[in-house]
Amino acid sequence: MEPNAFMYLTVAAVMFAIGVVGVLTRRNGIVVFMCVELMLNAVNLSLITFSKMHSVAAAAGGAAANVNPAAGSMMVFFVMCVAAAEAVVGLAIVISIFRNKLHIDINDVNIFKW
């Protein structure tokens, strides 16, 4: 069976859903982080898929001729950059939480509550 766009998008959606559930349910800061990365990469996968779809359609002279096929790929680079920056800051926070509390249970970090 030839892989098509639908399959790629399904994988991306599943990855995104896993990421969301992970962020909402896990208490370990590192794992939450990894889930966020998972979500980001799910988005990246769908971006790439759509980019490819549009480039094929454009080559065939379809309706999406006016869409730049490189746009999706460019977005991916942006997302990766932001993700890298976010990882830097996020991990630094996680490390400083660990230094103070000797664990990284995010439910214990609630000093901003009412």
Partner 1 sequence: MSNTVLSLIVLLPLAGAALIGLTGFLNERFRHQEKLIGLIATSAVAIPFFIILAAFLQFTSGHGEHHDAIRFSIIPWIETAGIKINFSYHLDQLSLLMGMIVTGIGSLIHIYSIAYMHHDKGFYKFFLYLNLFIFAMLNLILGDNMAVLFLGWEGVGVCSYLLIGFWYEDMEKAKAAQKAFVANRIGDFAMIGAMFMIFGQVHSLNFADINASAGSLGDNAFWITLLLFIAATGKSAQIPLYVWLPDAMAGPTPVSALIHAATMVTSGIYLIARMHPVFNVPAAEPVLIVIAVVAAATAILAALIAIAQNDIKKVLAYSTVSQLGFMFMALGAGAYTTAIFHVMTHAFFKACLFLGSGSVIHAMHHYFDETHEHKDPQDIRFMGGLKKYMPATGMTFWISTLAIAGIPGLSGFFSKDEILANTFFSGFDHGSIYFIVWLVGTITACLTAFYMTRLTYLTFFGEARYKTDKHHPHESSPLMTIPLWILGILAVVGGYLGLPAGVFGHNAHILNHTWFHGLINNRDLEHTMHEHIALEYGLLVLAIAIAVGVVYFAYNFYAKNGLEGDEKVKKVFGSMYKWMENKFYVDEFYEKTILKPFVWAGDNIVVWFDKNIIDGVINGSASATAAVGDVIRRMQTGYVAHYALIISIGVVIIIGYLILG
Residues of the shown chain interacting with partner 1 in the complex, contacts defined by CB under 8 A: 20, 23-25, 32, 106-107, 109-114
**Cβ nearer to partner 1, comparing 66 with 110:** 110
**Cβ nearer to partner 1, comparing 58 with 109:** 109
**Cβ nearer to partner 1, comparing 48 with 94:** 94
d(CA 40, CA 82): 10
Least spacing, CB of residue 111 vs partner 1, in Å: 7
Least spacing, CB of residue 67 vs partner 1, in Å: 19
| 23 C-beta neighbours (distance < 10 Å), count | 16
Phi, psi at 2, each rounded to 5°: -70, 125
* Beta carbons of 76 and 28 less than 8 angstroms apart: no
The number of residues making up the chain comes to 114
Least spacing, CB of residue 59 vs partner 1, in Å: 28
Least spacing, CB of residue 76 vs partner 1, in Å: 20
d(CA 62, CA 78): 27
